[in-house]
Amino acid sequence: MELFVSVQGNDHWSGKLPQSNCGGTDGPFATIQRARDEIRKCREEGSLHGAVEVKIRGGVYCLEAPLVFEPEDSWPVTYMPYEQ
């Protein structure tokens, strides 16, 4: 599974596209927290199979609170820079 995060993203989108689509209705998440939460949701639903890569596009990400990982986040996940 691949998820994407971008400062130009939207946390209401699927996170499955590296940039927004032509209609501006889907694209990357805006926050790393949202990607973490999506992984948690998929794991709870049983729809997560295999490793996850979260590809983070360049930019400045301001956190409103610390990014915390809990025991439920213990899944093979790699947070990495997005390379075009």
pTM score, whole prediction: 0.93
Rounded Cα gap, residues 79 and 56, in angstroms: 7
* Residues 58-67 pLDDT 10s: 999 999 899 9
> Each residue of 15-41: pLDDT tens digit?
999 999 999 999 999 999 999 999 999
Question: What pLDDT does 84 receive?
Answer: 73
User: How confident is the model at residue 14, as a pLDDT?
Assistant: 98
- For residues 74 and 6, which has the higher predicted lDDT (pLDDT)? 6
Q: How far is CA 42 from the centre of its chain?
A: 12
CA 57 vs CA 41, 42, 48, 52, 81: distances in Å: 22, 22, 23, 16, 6
